[in-house]
Structure 1
Amino acid sequence: MVRNEDLENVLLLKKGDISAFSALFGKYSERLYAFALSIAREPYIAEEITQQVFLKIWEKRHQIEEYFSFKSFLFSVTYSETISLLRKETAEKKKVNRWGEVASFETTETDYTVEFNNLELLTSEIIAGLPARRREIFILSREQGYSYREIADKLGLSVKTVENQISATLKTIREKLGESQLCSILFYFLTTH
């Protein structure tokens, strides 16, 4: 049985269901905060970004494409919001030095979205090229939300085997993506459980 709590919650969210919104907020707010913090490096900015993202999600809930990965969508919106806020902060305070190491301000938000989508596509291609069993374990974990224990029970494996397979897959993806700081940041947050 394929579990997709995000899809169920997104469908309810589109109908204005506040409990579905709360469930998505509870599931993703800390991870989005950590993601924004890893880019902005200021807790108050990360907190503001997290609030803005969820406010935007609520306000534009009718426009959400429910059959796309909600998780990827959230991180893409968070990334764009972080860039926008950093641009504003930089214009107001002229603090280019810290952010200049991470990204160029000449790049448009559309370029960031394209870069994010390219990274997601590359990751998908890497996963598609994995041995069948390893790919199945990874998909059950990262895309379908199964715990290591649930995967082990479902496939008749030990939990340690599942852990080793996930670890090997993450290592393969990291190696193939390269050492780019942006790739590392995005990859970490796309694949953390």
Structure 2
Amino acid sequence: MPEEKSKIVLLFKEIQYGNKAAFDELFALYYNKVLAFARQYIKQLESAEEVTSELFVRIWLKREGLSKVLNPEVYLYISIKNACLNLIRSDRKRHLLFAEQTAEQSFEHISDKYNFVAEDKELMKLLDLAVAALPRQRKLIFTLIKEHGLKSSDVAKILGISIRTVENQLYKAVKTLADSISGYLGYHPQVKISRKQPLSDLSLFFL
């Protein structure tokens, strides 16, 4: 993850000078991530794909101004968030209301990392349902930190909230997930692990 974060800084510098190969690499690295984030706001996949593609087009067309971007990764997420909100404001039709992300989407990136959990379909179903039921902001924070690997400070900038709010919401999200699977496991993950580490670091399932 740190290598990827340093790479995007280099890519932005190369794109600024018209390096098309660098732009293609940026697109390959971040298109799916940015699209997944857009889907948190826009229910219709086609519309989410459209605003995501437009974002990358704008990056290329306005590449001379990339030197002013201090944190390229945060810039991508804030830009797509604003684009989604602008689209929602401009279209009053109900099919563009905030999306409730499906259970399959919620853990599609995480499940690959936790084969021991993914093999237990019932447990994964419980986790999926628990994530899908989280309040929208809490789910966004959980997704950005646990799936996309962003720091709390970056998520705070992206969503325009305080770092403390981010950390509190993440804590509540993980606690909710731990509660949701305690009956199935036969023990509560918080009780089993928190004696040695914070609830927000439940590595057994969520890191």
- Give the TM-score of the pair, scaled to structure 1: 0.51
**Distance (whole Å) between structure 2 residues aligned to residue 59 and residue 186 of structure 1:** 30
Question: Structure 1 residue aligned with 2:44, among 42, 45, 48?
Answer: 42
3-state DSSP of counterpart to 2:70: coil
Aligned CA distance change for structure 1 residues 35 and 56 (closer, same or farther; 3 Å):
same
For residue 188 of structure 1, report the CA deviation from its aligned partner.
2.0
**Distance (whole Å) between structure 2 residues aligned to residue 57 and residue 88 of structure 1:** 22
Please name the residue that 2:139 is paired with.
184
One-letter code aligned to 2:19: D
Please name the residue that 1:88 is paired with.
90
3-state DSSP of counterpart to 2:54: helix
Please name the residue that 1:24 is paired with.
26
Aligned CA distance change for structure 1 residues 7 and 100 (closer, same or farther; 3 Å):
closer
8 Å Cα contact 1:37/1:45 also seen in 2: no
**Distance (whole Å) between structure 2 residues aligned to residue 98 and residue 6 of structure 1:** 32
**Distance (whole Å) between structure 2 residues aligned to residue 100 and residue 6 of structure 1:** 29
3-state DSSP of counterpart to 1:64: helix
Please name the residue that 2:188 is paired with.
none
3-state DSSP of counterpart to 1:38: coil
One-letter code aligned to 2:97: R
One-letter code aligned to 1:62: E
Question: How many residue pairs are counted as aligned between the two chains?
Answer: 113
One-letter code aligned to 1:74: L
3-state DSSP of counterpart to 2:18: coil
For residue 51 of structure 1, report the CA deviation from its aligned partner.
0.7
Of the two structures, which has the highest relative contact order with CA contacts closer than 8 Å and spacing of 6 or more?
1
**Distance (whole Å) between structure 2 residues aligned to residue 47 and residue 70 of structure 1:** 20
TM alignment of 1:66-81, pairs within 5 A: 68-81=70-83
Please name the residue that 2:130 is paired with.
none
8 Å Cα contact 1:9/1:20 also seen in 2: yes
TM alignment of 1:10-159, pairs within 5 A: 10-65=12-67, 68-90=70-92, 94-95=93-94, 98-99=97-98
8 Å Cα contact 2:42/2:84 also seen in 1: yes
Which digits, 9 at most, give the CA deviation of each residue in 1:39-80, with x for residues without a partner?
111101111011111011111111124662211100000001
8 Å Cα contact 2:16/2:67 also seen in 1: no
CA RMSD between the two structures:
2.8
Aligned CA distance change for structure 1 residues 186 and 50 (closer, same or farther; 3 Å):
farther
**Distance (whole Å) between structure 2 residues aligned to residue 95 and residue 46 of structure 1:** 15
- Could you tell me which runs of 5 or more consecutive residues in structure 2 were left unpaired when the two chains were aligned: 101-112, 114-133, 150-207
One-letter code aligned to 2:59: I
- Could you tell me which runs of 5 or more consecutive residues in structure 1 were left unpaired when the two chains were aligned: 102-147, 149-178
8 Å Cα contact 1:72/1:190 also seen in 2: no
**Distance (whole Å) between structure 2 residues aligned to residue 39 and residue 69 of structure 1:** 22
**Distance (whole Å) between structure 2 residues aligned to residue 43 and residue 67 of structure 1:** 28
For residue 86 of structure 1, report the CA deviation from its aligned partner.
1.5
**Distance (whole Å) between structure 2 residues aligned to residue 97 and residue 185 of structure 1:** 18
